[in-house]
Structure 1
Amino acid sequence: MPAKSPVMVRGAGETILVVEDEPDLRAYTTEALRDLGYRVLEAAEGREALKIVERHPEIDLLFTDVVLTGGMNGRALSDEVTRRRPELPVLFTTGYTSNAIVHHGRLDPGMHLIGKPFTYAELATKVRQMLDRTI
């Protein structure tokens, strides 16, 4: 008997801010999230993302790459967003194992991460868990 494929976890119109400096990956991520039923805002770098956070109090999740161009990495962005909106959950993504949130193979406390490359199903599941606060 073939294994059942997991039920795709869908969004309910929540707003996600995607911050990714690699255009193709940003396009893939935003398209996948929109397909899953989320409203998506996007930024290519941290300072642009901060302006969007200020203009859009309806953002439900910050999804950011750890390594960003433009002088502000994802950790610094997260710290500033958390200072302004402490209730806003942050999901990091990275293709590197050694960076601003992973130390000695472990995430800093309170950090949530999805590694690159991620699949559509992994993205769907992790984002839903973050929004439902089940992780």
Structure 2
Amino acid sequence: VLIAVSDTGTGIPANMLTRVFDPFFTSKGPGKGTGLGLSMVYGFIKQSTGHIKIYSEEGHGTTIKMYLPPGKTAAAVGEGVTPSTIEGGHETILVVEDDRLVRDYVLAQLHSLGYVTLQAANAAEALAIVATGKAFDLLFTDVIMPGKLNGRQLADEVSKTRPDLRVVYTSGYTENAIIHHGRLDSGVLLLAKPYRKSDLARIIRKALNS
């Protein structure tokens, strides 16, 4: 199966085309992009034993072609299945995410679930909020962020004054700050990007109820 996505944008310079699928490679500048979007697409395609190609011409646009093998089993058809209830709450959550679009998405989903939110674009902003003494019940933080502290280091710093801190980490990339030898550190809750609202709701409740 071939899925092709094309745009009429500015195109991608030839010297960048060989790097667009590299994790953390971005041309957007510090704090404006994670460089994980296309690398996640690449990983999904390869895990599905597929292939992906990109063609771009500056001033005209870009086309990405994704080749996926057909499924070998019939799709399961569920009849009379009741979707699980998505449980929300009214606690306050400090959301730390450097990508504005992702942060806005998370905030919108949390608000729709009934939660109150505080927001920060990096660890420094989050620590400034903590320093004001504002109360919150959960820290929801990206792992990889620009600045001196990553998400794990931020949580460790906040825990010095709030030892009962509940934390949910989120990341689009498996890295050693959270995962060691393929396993999560004990007691760590990690939500992999991309995720659905139901996944977000479930892990938030799991952390708050613990």
Q: Secondary structure at the match of 1:17?
A: strand
Q: Aligned residue for 2:190?
A: 113
Distance 1:7 1:34 in 2: 17
After TM superposition, the score normalised by the length of structure 1 is 0.93
Given candidates 158, 173, 192, the residue that maps to 1:96 is: 173
Is contact 1:66–1:99 with CA below 8 Å preserved after alignment? no
Matched, 1:62 2:139: yes
Task: Write the deviation string for residues 12-67 of structure 1: whole angstroms up to 9, x where unpaired.
Answer: x2100000001100000011001100000000000110111222442000000000
Q: 1:9 maps to what in 2? A: 87
Q: How far has the Cα of 1:2 moved from its partner?
A: 2.7
| Residue among 111, 125, 128 paired with 1:48 | 125
Q: Is the 8 A contact 1:93 1:116 kept in 2?
A: yes
Percent of aligned pairs with the same amino acid: 48
Q: Distance in 2 between matches of 1:97 and 1:121?
A: 21
Letter in 1 for 2:80: P
The aligned counterpart of 1:39 is 116
Task: Give secondary structure in 2 for the equivalent of 1:59.
Answer: coil
TM-score using structure 2 length: 0.61
State the 1:97 CA deviation: 1.4
Q: Which segments of structure 1 move beyond 4 Å, counting only runs of 4 or more? A: none
| Matched pairs, number | 132
Which one has a larger percent helix, Structure 1 or Structure 2? 1
Matches within 5 A, 1:13-24: 13-24=90-101
Residue of structure 1 in register with 2:201 after alignment = 124
5+ residue gaps in structure 1?
Answer: none
* Inter-partner Cα distance in structure 1 for 2:80 and 2:146: 45
Higher relative contact order (CA 8 A, sep 6+): 1
Which segments of 5 or more consecutive residues in structure 2 lack a partner in the other structure?
A: 1-78
- Is 1:76 the counterpart of 2:153? The answer is yes
